[in-house]
A and B are shown apart, each in its own frame.
Chain A
Amino acid sequence: MSYLPKSPWLVHYDASSCNGCDIEVLACLTPLYDVERFGVLNIGNPKHADIFVVTGSVNEQNKSVIKNIYDQMADPKVVVAVGACATSGGVFRECYNVQGGVDKVIPVDVYVPGCAARPEAIIDGVVQALGVLEEKYKNMGKVAK
């Protein structure tokens, strides 16, 4: 067992989101939900983060940014796509500039649906991501050995 699930630090990126999901992500930090009781910190630096939370759909402008943030994160890392736009492109998927969900650019581990996704759903998604994180850590050890 590692200590990864007890101290997940997350970095949040707003990829052309309407800010609905972003406000719900920030709501998780407020006294009502207080994700810090699980050790979750919104760290704001990809090099320190374990979980990459993306809201909004992918377009030509932000796809390099998403890829860059993902590449800067230290292994083991997981990606949580929050909201309808991040999971599939949502109502914007037919737009000429929108490529679709986050999984068009980077591998996504957990999809959190909803428009906007509710704080309870986001917390549930992060908790599911912790299981994936632990699994990735075990596999990381196997490759190293």
Chain B
Amino acid sequence: MLVYLVSFAAILLLTGLAWILGFRTRPGLDAARARSEAEGRLAGFRAAEIVLADDASGAVLRGVDGSVGLLLPLGDGWIARRLPVSALSWSGAGVTARLDEPMLRTAVLPLAVKPLWLEAAA
């Protein structure tokens, strides 16, 4: 039992040190990075248009094949999803994506202005 308590203390120490050393921020997302992340993580996806969320907390990308790539924040990085444009809806405050995953039913990206291509597709 003692060995597990010591291990747990070591975990807290190392995690705390990581925090102290500054490994707690996420680099900003710009169009180039959004393209790189989406194309790098979604095999065969090629971005035609990129719309960054207003707070740069994610991006929605239209692929040249008409599919949609979505970038969402996780830790100091991003997760990417490919979905049909029909999974997106516009709420006024931004784009809502229906992902229907166990830990990710929906995701909202704040957007002040609705992208034209999304308006045309919806």
Bound together: no
| Interface residue ranges, B against A (CB under 8 Å) | none
